[in-house]
Structure formats: C-alpha cells, structure tokens
Amino acid sequence: MAGVTAPLRVLIVDDDALVRAGLAMMLDGACGITVVAEAADGDEVPAAADAHAPGVVLMDLRMPRVDGITATRRLRARPDPPEVIVLTTFDSDEDVLRALRAGASGYLLKDTPPDQIVQAVRQVAAGDPILSPRVVRRLMDRAAADAAAGLRARAALDGLTPREREVVLGVARGRSNAAIAAELYMSVATVKAHVSSVLTKLDLDNRTQIALLAHDAGML
C-alpha cells in the first residue's frame, strides 16, 4: 500500500535470556520496530542475519564463544550489512574503540533508558551514529589526556640537540646502535654516548621509554 513504511527489523544478540526478553518486549512495543530474531552468542549471528535480514543488530560485548567485537566485524564485512549497536555494561576506552573500529555504528550502556535505546535504533538505521553520553565523556577525556601527553613529550624533546633527536628517532624505530650509526654516519660509540645523554636529560631508564616518548610526541 502506498505510503506504508516497512517496520525496522532488529536482531538482539545477548547471552542473558532475561536481557533478550526485556529488549524484545521494549522494542516490539515501539512503533515501526519489530524484533525478528534473537541470538544467545556471537557464533549464532551469521545464520540469524541470513534468515531474518535485520536492519539493526543490538550486540552484547562479552559472550562465551564469539564476542561482540568479532561478531560485529564479521557482520560488517558482509554485502549490505546491518547497522550494529553495541549494548553492554562495559565502557572502557579500549572496548569502545575496538567496537567502533570493528564497524559498530553505536555504543550504548545497558543502563541507558528504554526510550533512548529505541531512539538509538531508529537513529543508526537512518545512518546517524550514536554513543552513550558517558562513553563520549570518556573518549573526550582520553583525547585530552593524549593531547597533554603529546605536549609534554614534545616539550621534553625540545631540550635535545638535533643529533640527539635523530638518535631518538632511530631508537623509536627499533634500530640497534650499529644500525643507527650506519644511518647517521657516526660511530657506535658516539651513538651510545647520545643515548646515554638522552636518558640523563630526560630522566628515563631505558630505550623503551625513549621510544614511548617519541611516540607520544608524534615523531613516528
């Protein structure tokens, strides 16, 4: 019939049966949304997607056999993939970044109010990503911390001589003293002297710390 829009098809993936039941009840009660299937683990997702062609998948993060990151990556590699919202209790920076890199369009925490979960499903289906406000704050804090670390690292390296900075770059690239000496046309003894000077000036203990500082400063 003209003017009638097909309902938005949702697949729920979670190893907790009570969570699946609660989400299904909530979403099926929302106008224009229908839950077409449920899966209890990430390894059940491909078959469920093949059988039911969901437009949006609500994906748990931690599951016994195949985790939500792996399941999301596999889904997003398919032709015409559904959008994925990770819905989890875990909000560590690493979990969020891994999910987004795997192709998730949203990342929500399970304490998100029901109406906001419904809105998130509609939003990602329309092509707009969604993140929990708490997740956004964590990412902003991480970005600020990374920026501050970069400023401190660059300020520290500014106190080195140009030759010492060249040696630092070689160390950061994992080069041996001999390889650095060959690249910079100096003796191995001179390279060792520069490394010792850098460690003293920057109050560092070893070459690994030099490499990390160079990374934070954006030298690599």
pLDDT tens over the chain, length 220 residues: 445 578 899 999 999 999 999 999 999 888 899 999 999 999 999 999 999 999 999 999 999 999 999 999 999 989 989 999 999 988 787 888 888 888 888 899 999 999 999 999 998 898 888 888 887 777 777 777 778 888 888 999 999 999 999 999 998 888 888 999 999 999 999 999 999 999 999 988 888 788 878 888 888 7
Output the pTM of the full model. 0.68
**pLDDT at position 56:** 96
Q: Is residue 1 part of a domain?
A: no
**Domain identity same for 16 and 96:** yes
C-alpha span between 190 and 168 (Å, rounded): 13
Burial class (CB in 10 A: 0-12, 13-18, 19+), 91: middle
Here the CATH number for the domain that contains residue 82 is 3.40.50.2300
**Domain identity same for 81 and 183:** no
Q: Which domain holds residue 194?
A: 150-216
**Domain identity same for 29 and 72:** yes
C-alpha span between 56 and 35 (Å, rounded): 10
**Domain identity same for 20 and 121:** yes
For the beta carbon of residue 220, count every other beta carbon within 10 angstroms: 10
Here the CATH number for the domain that contains residue 167 is 1.10.10.10
